[in-house]
Each structure stands twice: as C-alpha cells, then as structure tokens.
A and B are shown apart, each in its own frame.
Chain A
Amino acid sequence: MVLEGIMTGLSTAFTFTNILMVSLGVFAGTFIGMLPGLGPISTIALMIPITYGFEPSSGLILMAGVYYGAVFGGSTSSILLNTPGEASTVATSFDGYPLAQVGKAGKALATAAYSSFSGGTIGAMFLLFAAPALAVVSLSFQSADYFALMVMGLTAVSAFAGKGQFLKAALMTVLGVMLSTVGTDDSTGVQRFTLGQLDLIDGISFLLLAMATFALSEALISVLKPGETSNAAQTAVKDKFGSLKVSTQEFREIAPSVGRSSVLGFFIGVLPGAGATIASFLAYGMEQALAKGRAKLQFGKGSLKGLAAPETANNAASTGSFVPLLTLGIPGSGTTAVMLGALISYGVQPGPRLFAENPEVFWSVIVSMYLGNIVLLILNLPLIPYIARLLAVPKPFLVPFVLFFSLIGVYLVSFNNFDIYLMVGFAACALFFRLLDFPMAPMLLGFVLGGLLEENLRRALLINDSSLSFLWSRPITLIILVITAVVLFLPLYRSLVEKFRPQP
C-alpha cells in the first residue's frame, strides 16, 4: 500500500507545474525566511494569499517548499548575522556564527544545507511509514478521542514552552481559544462576542490573525528595537563567503551526529507542542555530551558537529510535525498551525479522511518533501551567496514592504477595510505582549484548535447523552487524558517546588 501511495505521490509531484511550485516555494521561503525577524510562521502566512485558487496539492507542495526554504533561510541569517529569525535556529548560531567570523561562512552554510537535507530526507522516510500507519489507527478515533487529543495538544504547547514560560504560554493559549469563539456559533447559529459588528459575524480570519500577530508585529518589533543588524548585514554580505566545499573527512566526522539527530528530531517533532526548537537544543546538547576531548572543547567555537546536529534535528522535527497534522488534522506547533490554515483555505480538511479520500494530496505532500530538500540542496546552496545579498536591502525599504504585503494579502481575500483596522489592532496587542515576553505561537495554536475542540466536545456529549462519561469510557480517550495530566502537572509541580524552595 505504501508503494502504491508513493507512486501516486510521485506522479502528482513530478509534473512540470508542481516541480516549478516546489522550486518557487523553496526560493521564496529562503528569501523571506532569511530576513531578520521574519520566521517560518510569517513566511508561510505571507505566501497563503498568493496561493489562493491553486489546486490543493500544488498549493501544499508550494507551501512545503516555502517551509523548508524558510527554515533554511532562518539558518542563513543565524550563521551570517547571529540573528536567528526564530527559536528553532538559535542553536544553529552557537557554532555557525563563530565559523562565519573566521571566514568559513561558505562551509558553515554548506554544512547546514547538507545537514538540513539529511534531516529532512531521513525524517520524510520515517514519515512515509509512520503517517499511513497512524492514519489507519486514527480512522477508529471518535470525537471523544479527538477532544482529548486537542486538550493534549493545547496543554503540551504550554508545557514545552520552556522554563518560567508555562503559565504565560497557557494564558496565551486560552486567549487564542477565546478569539476562536468570536462569530457565529456553527452548530446553533448563535452570535457570540461580535460586539454588534457585522464584520465579525463570520468570526476572525485565521490568516488575518497570523499576519497581524506574526508578520506585522515582527516587522514592527524590528522598528521599535533598532539594532545594528543592517550594518552587520552589509559587512557579512560584502565579506568573502569562503569555499562552499565540505571535505570527505568532515563529512565522515559529522555523519554520526546527523544520523542520531535525525532520529531524535523526528520523534520530538511528532510530539504535539514540542517541535523544532526543543529538538534542535536537545540534539545540540546530546552531541556536546557525546563528544570527547578536543572535539568537546570546539563546541560553541565553530564545531561542525555542533552546527550539523541542531540543523539536522530541526528539519527532521519539522517533517515529524507533519505526522499529527496529516493524520489527525491536529497541528502540534505554531508553524503547522499555519500550514493547517493554508490547507483549510484550499478546501482540504486534514485528518484520517484525508488519507482515505484525497490520497493524492497526502502522498504528494510527502513526496514533495523529498523534492523540496533536493531543490534546496542543488539549487539554493550554490546561489546562497547571491541570495544573501538580500540581507543588505536597507531596512527603510524592507519594513514598509512587509507591512504592505501583509495588509494587502488579507485585504485581497475579503476586500473589506475593516480587516485592515482589525489587523492593525491585533498587531498593536501582539506588540504589547511580545514586549512583555509573552509567546505568540501558543495563541495561534489555541485559535486553530479552539473551533475543533468545541465541535468535538459537542459531538462527544451528544453521542453520550450529555454525560461526561465519554472522558473515561474509552481506553484511548482515557490514556490520552492521563498523558495530558502528566504533561500538565509535571512542570507545574516542578516550578512550584522550585519557587518555594528556600533561596540559598
């Protein structure tokens, strides 16, 4: 069955249009993702309006390319400028930037590209077997199980948010779910929280929220905190890149790290809420712990292993995070939440039925991941010294363009001025919370999962004669909820213990 699926995927992905799509996607993703401050979430959100009206599989293939491109673009700015576009490439800058400083930017970028390629490809191979297997199991899932899964997803994103961030992430998740309740209630037709505004009857558009809280607010933050990045960019781009070659000796050196990090990254990516950031830090930590002697001392000073590990892991995790998205329709991270938004805008509802009803979409996404990785390696890498010149585009031109594309992207969907004002409002709020160090991704995830959460809760209660017994009557539901409880209370317990421990 897997083989048949691969053939379906190959025949869909290997058409002229779709190869063009994935190449375009990778290029555009690298371009936008490279801009300091704009991470993959903003990049994908910015690309959604452009792909409206595409065939679902073409649109998705383009998006998969954008995703990979954006992740790689983020690594490029981490290595060249030490300004990671987003959290998952922070670990890349630990060893990537020191390499660039000693004139080995080319080698660092090439290593990053090869590692990303390996991580992505190995991840896609796992995905090839894990996703169909899980899709078959998930066909037996009922509303109660889905409800439990969503609760787990929402809890996990807070639990994995990092030390001291748990409550803040939880609050932002709640805020996101609250925003999802604005508009007409689907099953009863009752209007909620519309404040008498006709424009809010259909609810808040996902694209609008994603654009406002990511693309707009990230661009505005870069205005508020004028840094030295543009000067650094000028010098980084003018400086020599050095050779893009990686020697056989060096390949041999990093190969084991790449192997380990791929497996680690993929499995962390599959977990809801964990994702690329945690995977990259864990892989870096693991390699540092395993290294011996002089190699260990190299970490943080330009170790190729230290660069390869997080790069491999974050790509493998990005691939892994597609498992819950494609098979259960549940995004496990902010980025996959945007991907889900893109899918829904093409009229595709991911979940167990996607696998059964639109196998060509399901398989072509998986196949296009390989394709995306290949394009990244053979087309992007040689061009990177030229693409990197974009980093030298002066900020006075860049910021207005980002604002314009965000506003017009949302406006072109609705042709409603109200959406522009709403975006400006959300951007202002997002700016406020960002300055207070509240994370935005959980809010977006809460918003996407909120509607599904309520729908499945309703259905489960309806099937169960309004009794809450559905929470424990099915073993799958119960197991998921128990895991959720553990995930929820472990960090809470630990942070409470720490807070009340007498200070030394």
Chain B
Amino acid sequence: MRRDKVGALVILALSIVYGAMAFNIPEAPGVEGAGVTPSSLPIALSATGIVASLLILVLPAPRRIDRDDEDESSFSDAFKGLDWRCAAFLFLLMVGYGLTLKPLGFLISTILFLWGGFWTMGERRIKLMLLVSIGVTVGFWFILTQLLRIYLEPGVLHFLGMD
C-alpha cells in the first residue's frame, strides 16, 4: 500500500472517531440557537478530514518533480531499514523519566535518564558518561534551584536532608 494512503487511512479513522465524539458534546445551557454551538466547528472539521482523506485514498499518486516519484513508495519501504531498537529504547526511557521524576527526584532521575540515553545511543565510555550526566544534571539543578529559585522535586534525596 502506498504510504500516503496509509497516513490518509489513519486520519480518516481519526476523523470518524472525532466526528462521533463531536456529536456527543453536550449543548451549552442557554445558548441554543446562537449559531455556533461547541460542536459546530468539530463537526465541520470531521467532515473536512473525512473528505480530504478520502480524496487521497481515491486519487492516483501525484507525480512529483522534486523527488522522483517518491510518493509511489510503499508503506513498508518507509519503515524499512530503520534503527527501531534504539528509538524504542529512547521512548521507554522517556516514559521511565516521567515515572521516576517525582518519586526519585530531579537529580537522580535525570542522571539515570541521561546515562541511559548515552548507553542506548551506543556510548560505552563509562567514566565520560558518568561525568557528563552528573555534571550537566547538577549544573542544571544548581541554575534552576539556586539561581532561578525554581522548586524541583528532591524525591528520595529528601530523606537524606538534601532539599
């Protein structure tokens, strides 16, 4: 399947779901008949989304001058030969960062996140990785908390009296 068609299919599905939800938006009390209700624009958007994505699905591939018929490339081509493992790890790290930021505190979770990021990206010089992650995190923490007086979660360090 052509890749722009896959994208259009996804947006078509989104538009349909969005439109269905738009019809269920409650009426605002006291503004009936005022022309635009909270659901008017969403319904119009959903319709536009459906029409435009159907057009992409139905019409033949546009010929492009700038890149030789690249739009003919298939969905699987667009996703082939990419470094998925590394990207997936980074995604996991980001979610993990969100999960640990409050309980572990800014300092520890950020050091872990940066260190994990360097490791995922293939860096193996342990000392350098430690130095950079700790240095940047502590420097950033110092600027934020001490200079700009922004509160950051101390997390577990709170129990050690470091807040």
Chain A residues proximal to chain B, CB less than 8 Å: 162-164, 167-168, 170-171, 174-175, 177-178, 181, 185, 188-190, 192-193, 220, 223-226, 394-397, 399-401, 403-404, 407-408, 411-412, 417, 420-421, 423-424, 427-428, 431-433, 435-438, 453-454, 457-458, 461-462, 466, 495, 498-499
Most chain B CB neighbours (cut-off 10 Å) among A164, A175, A401, A407: A164
Instruction: Let me know if A417 and B98 touch, CB within 8 A.
Output: yes
Residue in B39, B101, B118 whose beta carbon sits within 8 Å of that of A397 in the complex: B118
Q: Which residues of B sit under 8 angstroms from A400, Cβ to Cβ?
A: 90, 113-114, 116-118, 120-121
**Contact A178 to B123, CB < 8 A, known contacts A224-B87, A225-B82:** no
Instruction: Give A392 Cβ to nearest chain B Cβ, in Å.
Output: 15
Instruction: Let me know if A417 and B55 touch, CB within 8 A.
Output: no
Residue in B38, B46, B56 whose beta carbon sits within 8 Å of that of A185 in the complex: B38
Q: Which residues of A sit under 8 angstroms from B139, Cβ to Cβ?
A: none
Q: Which residues of B sit under 8 angstroms from A427, Cβ to Cβ?
A: 91, 94
Q: Bound state CA distance, A171 and B132, in angstroms?
A: 42
Most chain B CB neighbours (cut-off 10 Å) among A164, A400, A438: A400
Instruction: Let me know if A403 and B94 touch, CB within 8 A.
Output: yes
Instruction: Let me know if B35 and A397 touch, CB within 8 A.
Output: no
Instruction: Give A374 Cβ to nearest chain B Cβ, in Å.
Output: 29
**Contact A171 to B8, CB < 8 A, known contacts A224-B84, A436-B78:** yes
Instruction: Give A35 Cβ to nearest chain B Cβ, in Å.
Output: 14
Instruction: Give B31 Cβ to nearest chain A Cβ, in Å.
Output: 6
Residue in A170, A190, A399, A433 whose beta carbon sits within 8 Å of that of B90 in the complex: A399
Interface residues in B71-92 by Cβ distance below 8 A to A read 71, 75, 78-79, 82-84, 86-87, 90-91
Instruction: Give B32 Cβ to nearest chain A Cβ, in Å.
Output: 11
Residue of B nearest to A417 (CB): B98
Q: Bound state CA distance, A190 and B97, in angstroms?
A: 33
Instruction: Let me know if A181 and B41 touch, CB within 8 A.
Output: yes
Q: Bound state CA distance, A70 and B49, in angstroms?
A: 34
Instruction: Indicate whether B60 reaches chain A with its CB closer than 8 angstroms.
Output: yes
Q: Which residues of B sit under 8 angstroms from A437, Cβ to Cβ?
A: 3-4, 7, 70-71, 78
Residue of B nearest to A181 (CB): B42
Chain B's interface: helix, strand, loop or mixed, by majority?
helix
**Contact A164 to B64, CB < 8 A, known contacts A171-B56, A462-B35:** yes
Q: Bound state CA distance, A495 and B101, in angstroms?
A: 50
Instruction: Let me know if B35 and A181 touch, CB within 8 A.
Output: no
Q: Which residues of A sit under 8 angstroms from B36, Cβ to Cβ?
A: 454, 457-458, 461
Instruction: Let me know if A223 and B86 touch, CB within 8 A.
Output: yes
Instruction: Let me know if A457 and B41 touch, CB within 8 A.
Output: yes
Residue in A178, A181, A192, A223 whose beta carbon sits within 8 Å of that of B87 in the complex: A223
Instruction: Let me know if B34 and A462 touch, CB within 8 A.
Output: yes
Instruction: Let me know if A190 and B78 touch, CB within 8 A.
Output: no
Instruction: Let me know if B45 and A167 touch, CB within 8 A.
Output: no
Q: Bound state CA distance, A226 and B84, in angstroms?
A: 11
Instruction: Let me know if A168 and B64 touch, CB within 8 A.
Output: no
**Contact A454 to B35, CB < 8 A, known contacts A420-B98, A421-B95, A424-B91:** no
Instruction: Let me know if A407 and B28 touch, CB within 8 A.
Output: no
**Contact A171 to B49, CB < 8 A, known contacts A226-B83, A424-B98, A435-B78:** yes
Instruction: Indicate whether B13 reaches chain A with its CB closer than 8 angstroms.
Output: no
Q: Which residues of A sit under 8 angstroms from B99, Cβ to Cβ?
A: 417
Q: Which residues of B sit under 8 angstroms from A188, Cβ to Cβ?
A: 28, 31, 37-38
Residue in A164, A225, A396 whose beta carbon sits within 8 Å of that of B121 in the complex: A396
Instruction: Give A130 Cβ to nearest chain B Cβ, in Å.
Output: 31
Q: Which residues of B sit under 8 angstroms from A404, Cβ to Cβ?
A: 110, 113-114, 117
Q: Which residues of B sit under 8 angstroms from A192, Cβ to Cβ?
A: 22, 25, 38-39, 42
Instruction: Let me know if A189 and B28 touch, CB within 8 A.
Output: yes
Instruction: Let me know if A395 and B121 touch, CB within 8 A.
Output: yes
Residue of A nearest to B49 (CB): A174
Q: Bound state CA distance, A411 and B6, in angstroms?
A: 33
Instruction: Let me know if A420 and B101 touch, CB within 8 A.
Output: yes
Q: Which residues of B sit under 8 angstroms from A403, Cβ to Cβ?
A: 90, 93-94, 117
Instruction: Indicate whether B161 reaches chain A with its CB closer than 8 angstroms.
Output: no
Instruction: Give A233 Cβ to nearest chain B Cβ, in Å.
Output: 15
Residue of B nearest to A457 (CB): B36
Q: Bound state CA distance, A170 and B22, in angstroms?
A: 20
Q: Can you list 19 pairs linking A and B with CB atoms under 8 Å apart?
A: A168-B4, A171-B53, A175-B49, A177-B45, A178-B49, A192-B22, A220-B87, A399-B90, A400-B116, A404-B114, A412-B144, A412-B150, A420-B95, A424-B94, A424-B98, A427-B91, A436-B7, A437-B4, A437-B71
Instruction: Let me know if B114 and A401 touch, CB within 8 A.
Output: yes
Instruction: Give B21 Cβ to nearest chain A Cβ, in Å.
Output: 6
Instruction: Let me know if B56 and A168 touch, CB within 8 A.
Output: yes
* 19 extra interface residue pairs, beta carbon distance < 8 Å, beyond A171-B11, A408-B140: A163-B62, A171-B7, A171-B52, A174-B11, A174-B45, A188-B28, A190-B28, A220-B90, A396-B118, A400-B118, A420-B101, A421-B95, A424-B98, A427-B94, A432-B7, A457-B36, A466-B33, A466-B35, A498-B63
Instruction: Let me know if B25 and A190 touch, CB within 8 A.
Output: yes
Instruction: Let me know if B97 and A164 touch, CB within 8 A.
Output: no
Q: Bound state CA distance, A408 and B49, in angstroms?
A: 33
Interface residues in B11-67 by Cβ distance below 8 A to A read 11, 14-15, 18, 21-22, 25-28, 31, 33-39, 41-42, 45-46, 48-49, 52-53, 55-56, 59-66
